């Protein structure tokens, strides 16, 4: 639990374990993978492997800092200490902005599925119902959030695990009662080869899949409200490799092995539905809709939790209204939750009122925030390692590999992806980066102005909690 924060250790070990496992499984894996497969062919596996490696390295850095100093602000609080108040303020608000926009995106996605099942309720009505239910869940207690997420993530994990096992049995020809005539590892190299569109398609694939990995860092924020934060962070950091290997690489490998990458059904029905249909599994589309809806609800639940805890941390450090840092008798930051969900409701409203202008701007202007967050984590770790070694070396229970060389290499790779996006006009990469940079620049200017105004004051009223943070 964050010292003196008022947050309560309401998350159990099983909650943290499932949050860590489910955090890397977003709805984007189910919905967006078909576009990546069409773009890069079987080579999309290299795109997922590249982004997966990037996430593993970034999470290792974040794990090093968070194990030494678990806090609800996670990387924002670390950036505050390592790089300066301007950095913690900027990345904290950008991250909050990202998740409240995600709330609107996921609420709309969930509403579309629910409207298909119960058309008597309009889509906006379902979006409202979903947002109200999950807001209430988060307002009750952190334990109720953890319990909901435990079951949401559990369904995702079981579903993907079963998909991988059944798919591999079919590929090896040992699945009883199934005639998977197209299933073969030969699909990886036939139909134009492993890279039918050339090696450049790997980087294009990276742009399409990178954002489906956002959420891996949620476990480090949630650890601040667990009974043993250091152990929770260490465990989630150490398990990230197999989680990405099984759920992302494993499931995509099954998809492109069960069917040729250019099979029309992948683009028409979606990659996972097409794969299930190829095995003759009845009602594959509806089964997948249930799983996608579960992923959407999980993302909404975690998104609201994450946004509210970042807002709480910003309020605690004096970078947001003080009301954000207040908690009720159950240790819940009610104002931070309500402020986050209100913005989410506004974004949902814009999605129906002006989907091609205002809402599109919100989505694109938050699109590159994941890469900005990872870049800030890199630079924070470069500085924070020295601080931890100087003040409390015994707290280095998780260490970044090959420091500082691998940290610099990771930062260079992230910058490389951002630069490549600037030349991508086909998939709106340039627009996403430019709009995200615009929003980041505005937030950064506000941060610098606030810092200079604070420095100009002759006698600050109180010391910022961020300045009191010590390792250990």
What CA–CA distance (Å, rounded) separates 56 from 50?
A: 10
| Geometric angle at alpha carbon 342, from 337 and 343, rounded to 5° | 105
Is-above-0.85 flag for pTM?
Answer: yes
Superfamily of chain region 13-456: Amino acid/polyamine transporter I (1.20.1740.10)
What CA–CA distance (Å, rounded) separates 416 from 234?
A: 29
Q: How far is CA 99 from the centre of its chain?
A: 9
What CA–CA distance (Å, rounded) separates 114 from 359?
A: 21
What CA–CA distance (Å, rounded) separates 211 from 32?
A: 10
Structure tokens belonging to residue 47: 């795109």
| Geometric angle at alpha carbon 131, from 153 and 141, rounded to 5° | 65
- Reduce the DSSP state of residue 317 to 3 states and report it: coil
Which whole-number Å values give the CA distances from 118 to 123, 269, 298, 331, 369, in the listed order? 10, 21, 21, 37, 35
| pLDDT tens, residue order, the chain (472 aa) | 444 456 766 677 777 777 777 766 766 777 778 888 988 999 999 999 999 999 899 999 998 998 888 877 888 999 999 999 899 999 999 999 999 888 888 888 888 889 989 999 988 889 889 989 889 888 888 888 888 888 888 888 888 889 999 999 988 888 877 666 778 899 999 889 999 998 888 888 888 888 778 777 887 777 777 777 777 788 777 778 888 888 889 999 999 999 999 999 998 888 888 888 888 888 888 888 888 888 888 888 888 888 998 999 999 998 999 999 898 888 888 999 999 999 888 888 888 888 878 888 888 888 788 899 999 999 999 999 999 999 989 989 889 999 999 999 999 999 998 998 888 877 778 888 899 999 999 999 999 998 888 778 775 555 555 444 445 4
What CA–CA distance (Å, rounded) separates 390 from 386?
A: 6
- In terms of C-beta density within 10 A (0-12 exposed, 13-18 middle, 19 or more buried), how is residue 343 classed? buried
| DSSP state letter for 400 | -
In this structure, the chain runs to a length of 472
């Amino acid at each position: 639990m964050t010292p003196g924060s008022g947050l309560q250790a309401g998350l159990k070990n099983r909650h943290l374990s499932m949050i860590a496992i489910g955090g890397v499984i977003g709805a984007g894996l189910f919905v967006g993978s078909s576009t990546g497969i069409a773009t890069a062919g079987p080579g999309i596996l290299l795109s997922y492997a590249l982004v997966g490696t990037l996430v593993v390295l970034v999470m290792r850095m974040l794990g090093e800092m968070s194990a030494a100093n678990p806090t609800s602000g996670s990387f924002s609080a670390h950036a505050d200490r390592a790089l300066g108040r301007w950095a913690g303020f900027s990345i904290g608000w950008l991250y909050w902005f990202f998740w409240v926009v995600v709330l609107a995106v996921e609420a709309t996605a969930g509403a579309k599925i629910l409207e298909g099942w119960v058309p008597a309720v309009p889509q906006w009505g379902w979006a409202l119902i979903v947002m109200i239910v999950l807001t209430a869940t988060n307002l009750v207690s952190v334990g109720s959030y953890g319990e909901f997420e435990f079951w949401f993530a559990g369904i995702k994990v079981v579903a993907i695990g079963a998909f991988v096992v059944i798919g591999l049995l079919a590929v090896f020809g040992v699945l009883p009662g199934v005639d998977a005539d197209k299933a073969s590892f030969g699909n990886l190299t036939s139909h134009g080869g492993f890279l039918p569109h050339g090696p450049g398609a790997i980087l294009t694939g990276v742009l399409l899949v990178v954002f489906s990995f956002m959420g891996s860092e949620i476990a480090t924020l949630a650890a601040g409200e667990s009974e043993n934060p250091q152990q929770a962070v260490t465990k989630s950091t150490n398990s990230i490799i197999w989680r990405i290997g099984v759920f992302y690489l494993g499931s995509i490998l099954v998809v492109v092995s069960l069917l040729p990458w250019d099979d029309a059904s992948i683009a028409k029905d979606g990659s996972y539905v097409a794969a299930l249909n190829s095995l003759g599994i009845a009602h594959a589309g509806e089964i997948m809709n249930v799983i996608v809806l579960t992923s959407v609800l999980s993302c909404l639940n975690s998104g609201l939790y994450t946004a509210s805890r970042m807002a709480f941390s910003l309020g605690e450090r004096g970078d947001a209204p003080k009301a954000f840092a207040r908690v009720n008798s159950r240790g819940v930051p009610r104002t931070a939750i309500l402020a986050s969900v209100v913005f989410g409701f506004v974004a949902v409203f814009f999605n129906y009122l002006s989907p091609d202008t205002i809402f599109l701007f919100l989505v694109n202007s938050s699109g590159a925030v994941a890469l900005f967050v990872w870049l800030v984590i890199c630079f924070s770790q470069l500085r924070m390692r020295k601080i931890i070694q100087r003040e409390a070396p015994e707290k280095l229970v998780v260490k970044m590999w090959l420091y500082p060389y691998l940290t610099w290499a990771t930062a260079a790779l992230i910058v490389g992806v951002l630069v490549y996006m600037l030349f991508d006009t086909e998939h709106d990469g340039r627009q996403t980066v430019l709009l995200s940079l615009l929003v980041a620049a505005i937030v950064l200017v506000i941060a610098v102005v606030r810092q200079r105004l604070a420095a100009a004051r002759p006698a600050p009223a109180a010391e910022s909690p961020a300045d009191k943070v010590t390792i250990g």
